[in-house]
Structure 1
Amino acid sequence: MISIKNLSKLFQLKQQQIQAVDDVSLDINKGEIFGVIGYSGAGKSTFVRLINRLEEPTDGDVSIHNEDITKMSNHQLRKKRQKIGMIFQHFNLLWSRTVYENIAFPLEIAGVPRTERKVKVLELIELVGLSGRENAYPSQLSGGQKQRVGIARALANDPEVLLCDEATSALDPETTDDILELLVSINKKLGLTIILITHEMHVIQKICNRVAVMENGRVVETGDVLDVFVKPQSETTRRFVQQLNPLEYEKDRLSSFINEDSTSEVIKLHFVGNHAKQALISQVIKQFDIDVNILQGSIAPTQEGAYGTLFVEINGKESVLKEAISFIENAGVEVEVLHDVE
């Protein structure tokens, strides 16, 4: 669907050069929600603006449906942009126009007849949950409602791709979740490919299928969201994952439970996907002559399934502890022994 090859952007500021995007290559599948995450200055917003040439790339290619937009003339690019919707952090609405008029604006530019415009605009207003607010002005809307207008406007020309540049960063957590649910609904109903730029791991976790992590203009890690969360490879990714699952990095705090008594072990259990739904601890207690003390744990959902971490202390004979750990591993749960069984 979208093929990005060796994409770069170099800004020349007086006597200083800034490499905002550095040799990025990605393939994004049709109909998926693809997240790009990075801290401030990572180059992610510049990257997304290169996809529709709001910024001109210094080098590299961007192809959408096998059409290289970096080679298009201005006339060809204007037509192609009608199929690339974009929503922004600060909404970018026309403040002198009503909700209806804001959504109708791209259709006016495209030369769509008035009767067809009306039908399309009313469909979109219903789709984004703004029925009854057609005649309101942006100043009369909440932040979430303004973003819903921005989404409807971006969908006006039936785009193939929707680019979201920090679309929820200006919203409170509850409104953010509402907008994310709307994006998932639109993705499913319209089969729309969504590229979502954010610095919030919660956003990636909630709706994305795959993610690319950016640092200093480069992609340092990419993969399925669940895989990246479970086994982050880069330090930047580990910092983001820690925001959602701090227990992953709190092993040192459990040192008070770890002792030299061979009848006691502290283990970390890592549940992924359907394994997170198993009543595994109760099975272990029933099957083995051990005591189990749950120390702490957490679980988080993603689009590809749940993942969770559980720290437990197990007490019993050395041979029985080994059998219990083997049983847990055979159930498909990753086990890390924080105090090795002798």
Structure 2
Amino acid sequence: MIEIKQLTKLYKTKHQQVQAVDDISLNINKGEIFGVVGYSGAGKSTFIRLINRLEEPTSGTIKINDKDITTMAQSKLRKERQKFGMIFQHFNLLWSRTIYDNIAFPLEIAGVPKNKRKEKVLELINLVGLSGREKAYPSQLSGGQKQRVGIARALANDPDVLLCDEATSALDPETTDDILDLLVSINKKLGLTIILITHEMHVIQKICHRVAVMEKGKVVETGNVLEVFVKPQSKTTKRFVQQLNPLEQQQEAIQSFINSRDDSEVIKLHFIGNSTRRALISEISKKYDVDINILQGSISPTQEGAYGTLFFEINGQKDVIHDAIKYIQASGVEVEVLKHVE
């Protein structure tokens, strides 16, 4: 649906030039929730504003449904922009207007008749869970309610794509989860493509199908969220994954729990999808003459399924331990041996 090729944005000042977006090429599928994550200054917000040409690219192409919007004349672009909804970190609501009037505003600009406008606004108010608050003003709302208004307003013109620029950064964790649940619900009900910019890996983990990791204007890694979480490749991605899975940071600390026996190995397992439900440790204990000491473990959900990490020590005869490891590997679980039998 969205095809981005060699997209670049260069800002020039009198004394220097800044490469905000550097040669990005991505494909984003229709109906998916695509996350872009990076630390401050990575170029995320510039990238998302290039997609609907709120920022003009220095070079590269952006095609939406095979239409090249980078070469589109302003008169045609104005109409094309109606296919994009956008929500912001700080809501950008009109403070002198009620909830109803905020949501109606883009419909007024589009020239939608008053009776159809009313029908659409009430439908959207119900969709985002604000029924009964139509006459309230933004100053009377919580942060989460303000963002719900922002989402409803962004959906007013029935866009094909919803762009979310740090949409949950100003919210507390519980409210963030509520808004993310709402976005998932909208994605499923409307078949809407969502592109979500964030610096919070929790957001990516909770709702995205695929993710691109940005650093210094470049995409350093991209892929299915589950794959990226289990096998991060770049240093930046590994840092983000460690935020959510402290076990990855504590691998060295685990060594202090390991006994000094020569007939033991320490194993790290990665469980993905249905394998997280399997009683694998119990199976090994029954099948092989070994003792197992579980050191640490965790399971985390994503839109594509759960993934888990487990550290354990296995004691026994060398050949029996190796047979047990082969059994684990044959089950489809990824195995990393941290301490070998001498």
TM-score bracket, normalised by the shorter chain, equals over 0.9
AA at the equivalent of 1:123? E
AA at the equivalent of 1:328? I
| Contact 2:264–2:340 (CA under 8 A) maintained in structure 1 | no
Partners of 1:115 and 1:256 in 2: CA distance: 70
Q: Could you tell me which residue of structure 2 aligns to residue 243 of structure 1?
A: 243
Q: Could you tell me which residue of structure 2 aligns to residue 14 of structure 1?
A: 14
AA at the equivalent of 2:102? N
Q: Could you tell me which residue of structure 2 aligns to residue 132 of structure 1?
A: 132
Matches within 5 A, 1:1-342: 1-258=1-258, 261-342=261-342
Q: Once the 2 structures are TM-superposed, how far is the Cα of residue 257 of structure 1 from its aligned partner?
A: 3.6
AA at the equivalent of 1:249? Q
Partners of 1:178 and 1:71 in 2: CA distance: 38
Q: Once the 2 structures are TM-superposed, how far is the Cα of residue 225 of structure 1 from its aligned partner?
A: 0.4
Query: 3-state DSSP class of the match of 1:164?
Result: strand
Q: Once the 2 structures are TM-superposed, how far is the Cα of residue 261 of structure 1 from its aligned partner?
A: 2.6
Report the identity percentage.
76
| Contact 2:208–2:225 (CA under 8 A) maintained in structure 1 | yes
Could you list the runs of 5+ residues in structure 1 that have no partner in the other structure?
none
Q: Once the 2 structures are TM-superposed, how far is the Cα of residue 249 of structure 1 from its aligned partner?
A: 3.0
Which one is further off, 268-277 or 189-198? 268-277
TM-score (norm 1): 0.98
Could you list the runs of 5+ residues in structure 2 that have no partner in the other structure?
none
| Contact 1:258–1:339 (CA under 8 A) maintained in structure 2 | no
Count of equivalent residues? 342
| Contact 1:257–1:313 (CA under 8 A) maintained in structure 2 | no
Which one is further off, 324-333 or 182-191? 324-333
CA root-mean-square deviation: 0.9
Which one is further off, 65-74 or 114-123? 65-74
Which one is further off, 135-144 or 262-271? 262-271
Query: 3-state DSSP class of the match of 1:174?
Result: helix
Q: Once the 2 structures are TM-superposed, how far is the Cα of residue 260 of structure 1 from its aligned partner?
A: 5.0
Q: Once the 2 structures are TM-superposed, how far is the Cα of residue 13 of structure 1 from its aligned partner?
A: 2.3
Partners of 1:75 and 1:341 in 2: CA distance: 71
Which one is further off, 328-337 or 39-48? 328-337
Partners of 1:204 and 1:273 in 2: CA distance: 17
Query: 3-state DSSP class of the match of 2:300?
Result: strand
TM-score (norm 2): 0.98
| Contact 1:93–1:102 (CA under 8 A) maintained in structure 2 | yes
AA at the equivalent of 1:268? K
Partners of 2:248 and 2:255 in 1: CA distance: 14
Which one is further off, 303-312 or 257-266? 257-266
Task: Report runs of 4+ in structure 1 exceeding 4 Å deviation.
Answer: none
Partners of 2:179 and 2:256 in 1: CA distance: 43
> 1:260-297: per-residue Cα shift (whole Å, max 9, x none)?
53322211111111111101111111111111111111
AA at the equivalent of 1:228? V
Partners of 2:216 and 2:238 in 1: CA distance: 16
Query: 3-state DSSP class of the match of 2:17?
Result: strand
Partners of 2:237 and 2:269 in 1: CA distance: 21
Q: Once the 2 structures are TM-superposed, how far is the Cα of residue 259 of structure 1 from its aligned partner?
A: 5.1
Q: Once the 2 structures are TM-superposed, how far is the Cα of residue 23 of structure 1 from its aligned partner?
A: 0.6
Partners of 2:101 and 2:75 in 1: CA distance: 25
Partners of 2:337 and 2:4 in 1: CA distance: 42
Query: 3-state DSSP class of the match of 2:129?
Result: coil
